[in-house]
C-alpha cells in the first residue's frame, strides 16, 4: 500500500472518509435507531480512516495484540496468538471481520474525536490504546485445543462479566493472509465470530432451559419420576434415548441426559410456558456488549407437531442457540439466576472509561438456579468426571451432542458450565461443529482452557 506522506492530502482524505462514514452511519442509525439510543457509548459512530497510525491493543496482561509501527499495522509476535485473537481484534486490511474491536473502536484507535475535532482528527498520528479483558494465553489454549475443527469457545466471569477467552475457528493469520480464503472450504465462514454469530442446534445443553421452565412452573417437579425404556411415543412418533435409563428424576435426567424425561416435561409445560422461559433466557433476541452483538438464538414451536414440540424440549427440532447465549445461561445459574452483562473492553487510554459490572434481570429464581447448580455439579461428579476438567477447579457442567442429520453422524459437540472457584469464577461454552459427542470431544477443549488458567494462577495471575 502506498503511504500518504502529505499531511493536507491526508486531512482531505480523512474528511472525505468522514462524510462517507456519516452518510453510512445516518442510514445505520435510522435502521437501528432504537438499539442505538439504548447504547451508553456511541463512540464508534465516527469510524473512518485506516489504522496505519492507530493505537495499540493489549490483552489483560498488557501483552500487545496489535500496534502500528512506521505506518504499518502489526500483530502479536506469536502466530497462534494472532490466529486465536483474529475475530476479537479484526484484520485491518479486511473489514469483513464484522464486529471486531478494530472495526467498532476504529475512531478511538486512530485518535479521532467526534466532539471536539468535528471531522478533523485531533492528532493524526496518535490514537488511543485499548486494553481488553481477554487473556492471550487462554486464547492460545482454546485455539490449540480446537485444532483444525470448526467451532467456538467462550469463557467469561459470571461475577464481573469480563470475557477472558473468545475464540472462533476456522481462523487465519492477519499478518500473513492466505490467498485462498474465499475458495478453500477449510475457511468456510471464516469471517464470522462463531462465539457470537454461530447459530447451532443446542442439543442437550438446552435441557437446562426446559428444566428451568419446569422448576419455575410446576411445584415439586424435581421429585417426579419417569420410567425411561429407551423409547416412548409422544404425539405420533417416538422420542428416544441412547439407552434405557430406568427410573429417573430431574437430577438423573440431567446427569445422564434423558430425552424422554425432557420431552415429557416440555409437553406437560406446553408451548406458551416453554417459549416464555426460553425468551427469558435470551432466545429470540440479541446479546449486546461493548458495541458487539450476537445473532439471535431461535426457539419457535408455533408450527411444531406434538412430537416435534417434545423434541424441542431436548434442544432439537428447529431450535438454534449461539455459544454466548449458552454460556450466559450457565453464568446465570452460577450467579443465583442473574446474568451479568459480558464486557471485553477493560479500558481506553485517555478516557475516563473503566468498565464496571452491570447485571440484567433474573432469568430464573434463586431457588431454580440453586437446583440447576446442584444438578450440574452432580452430572460432573457422577457422569463426566471432575478430574477430566481440572485438577484445581471444581466444575459444574452439562454436555450436549446435537443431532444435525438423520443418521446422527454429524452431531455438534457441546459443553457448558462454570467453575465454582473464587479464583476463577468463569462460565463457559464450547461447541465443536460436527465434533461428535460432547462428552468425548467438547470436554477436553474446556479443560485445556482451564489448565492454562491454572498455570497462570500458579504463576501469580488473578482473574477478575
Which residues of this chain interact with Zn ion, rule CB under 5 A? 228, 241, 245, 258, 260
Give the CA distances from residue 11 to residues 72, 81, 174, in Å, rounded to whole numbers and listed in that order.
19, 34, 27
Q: Based on CB atoms, which residue is closest to Zn ion, 257 or 277? A: 257
Q: Decide if 101 contacts 51 (C-beta within 8 A).
A: no
Give min distance, CB of 264 to Zn ion, in A. Answer: 10
Q: Decide if 112 contacts 49 (C-beta within 8 A).
A: yes
Q: Based on CB atoms, which residue is closest to Zn ion, 241 or 320? A: 241
Q: Which residues contact 294 (CB under 8 A, 6 or more apart)?
A: 196, 197, 286, 287, 288, 322, 324, 325
Give min distance, CB of 259 to Zn ion, in A. Answer: 6
Give the separation between CA 401 and CA 140, rounded to whole angstroms: 25
For residue 168, the cross-strand partners are 152
Q: Based on CB atoms, which residue is closest to Zn ion, 244 or 284? A: 244
Q: Based on CB atoms, which residue is closest to Zn ion, 221 or 245? A: 245
Q: Based on CB atoms, which residue is closest to Zn ion, 196 or 258? A: 258
CA-wise closest residue to 369 among 291, 281, 440: 281
Give min distance, CB of 207 to Zn ion, in A. Answer: 11
Give min distance, CB of 233 to Zn ion, in A. Answer: 14
Give the separation between CA 51 and CA 101, rounded to whole angstroms: 12
Q: Based on CB atoms, which residue is closest to Zn ion, 229 or 366? A: 229
Give the CA distances from residue 144 to residues 81, 236, 285, in Å, rounded to whole numbers and listed in that order.
10, 45, 32
Give min distance, CB of 395 to Zn ion, in A. Answer: 24
Give min distance, CB of 87 to Zn ion, in A. Answer: 37
| Strand intervals (E) in 64-170 | 64-69, 72-75, 130-132, 151-157, 163-169
Give min distance, CB of 313 to Zn ion, in A. Answer: 13
Q: Based on CB atoms, which residue is closest to Zn ion, 164 or 314? A: 314
- Strand, helix or coil for residue 229: coil
Amino acid at each position: 500500500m502506498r503511504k500518504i506522506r502529505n499531511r493536507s492530502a491526508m486531512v482531505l482524505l480523512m474528511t472525505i472518509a468522514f462524510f462517507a462514514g456519516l452518510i453510512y452511519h445516518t442510514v445505520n442509525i435510522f435502521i437501528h435507531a432504537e438499539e442505538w439510543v439504548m447504547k451508553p457509548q456511541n463512540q464508534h459512530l465516527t469510524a473512518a480512516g485506516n489504522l496505519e497510525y492507530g493505537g495499540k491493543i493489549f490483552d489483560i496482561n498488557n501483552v500487545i495484540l496489535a500496534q502500528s509501527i512506521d505506518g504499518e499495522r502489526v500483530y502479536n509476535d506469536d502466530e497462534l496468538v494472532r490466529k486465536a485473537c483474529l475475530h476479537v481484534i479484526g484484520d485491518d486490511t479486511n473489514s469483513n471481520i464484522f464486529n471486531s474491536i478494530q472495526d467498532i473502536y476504529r475512531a478511538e484507535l486512530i485518535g479521532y474525536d467526534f466532539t471536539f475535532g468535528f471531522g478533523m482528527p485531533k492528532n493524526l498520528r496518535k490514537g488511543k490504546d485499548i486494553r481488553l479483558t481477554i487473556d492471550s494465553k487462554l486464547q492460545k489454549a482454546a485455539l490449540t485445543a480446537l485444532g483444525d475443527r470448526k467451532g467456538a469457545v467462550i469463557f467469561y466471569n459470571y461475577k464481573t462479566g469480563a470475557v477472558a477467552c473468545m475464540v472462533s475457528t476456522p481462523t487465519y493469520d492477519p499478518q500473513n493472509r492466505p490467498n485462498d480464503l474465499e475458495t478453500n472450504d477449510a475457511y468456510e465462514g471464516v469471517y464470522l465470530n462463531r462465539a457470537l454469530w454461530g447459530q447451532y442446534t443446542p442439543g442437550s445443553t438446552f435441557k437446562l432451559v426446559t428444566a428451568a421452565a419446569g422448576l419455575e412452573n410446576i411445584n415439586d417437579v424435581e421429585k417426579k419420576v419417569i420410567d425411561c425404556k429407551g423409547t416412548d411415543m409422544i404425539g405420533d412418533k417416538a422420542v428416544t434415548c441412547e439407552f434405557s435409563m430406568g427410573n429417573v428424576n430431574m437430577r438423573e435426567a440431567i446427569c445422564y441426559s434423558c430425552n424422554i424425561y425432557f420431552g415429557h416435561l416440555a409437553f406437560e409445560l406446553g408451548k406458551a410456558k416453554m417459549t416464555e422461559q426460553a425468551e427469558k433466557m435470551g432466545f429470540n433476541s440479541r446479546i449486546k456488549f461493548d458495541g458487539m452483538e450476537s445473532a439471535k438464538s431461535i426457539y419457535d414451536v408455533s408450527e411444531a407437531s406434538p412430537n416435534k414440540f417434545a423434541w424441542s424440549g431436548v434442544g432439537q427440532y428447529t431450535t438454534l442457540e449461539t455459544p454466548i447465549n449458552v454460556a450466559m445461561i450457565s453464568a446465570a445459574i452460577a450467579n443465583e439466576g442473574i446474568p451479568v452483562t459480558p464486557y471485553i473492553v477493560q479500558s481506553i487510554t485517555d478516557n475516563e472509561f473503566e468498565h464496571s459490572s452491570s447485571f440484567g434481570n433474573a432469568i430464573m429464581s434463586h431457588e431454580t438456579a440453586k437446583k440447576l447448580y446442584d444438578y450440574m455439579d452432580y452430572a460432573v461428579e457422577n457422569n463426566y468426571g471432575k478430574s477430566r476438567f481440572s485438577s484445581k477447579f471444581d466444575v459444574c457442567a452439562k454436555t450436549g451432542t446435537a443431532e444435525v442429520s438423520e443418521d446422527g453422524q454429524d452431531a455438534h459437540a457441546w459443553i457448558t458450565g462454570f467453575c465454582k472457584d473464587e479464583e476463577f469464577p468463569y462460565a463457559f461454552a464450547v461447541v465443536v461443529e460436527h465434533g461428535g459427542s460432547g462428552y468425548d470431544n467438547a470436554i477436553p477443549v474446556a479443560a485445556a482452557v482451564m489448565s492454562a488458567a491454572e498455570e497462570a494462577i500458579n504463576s501469580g495471575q488473578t482473574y477478575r
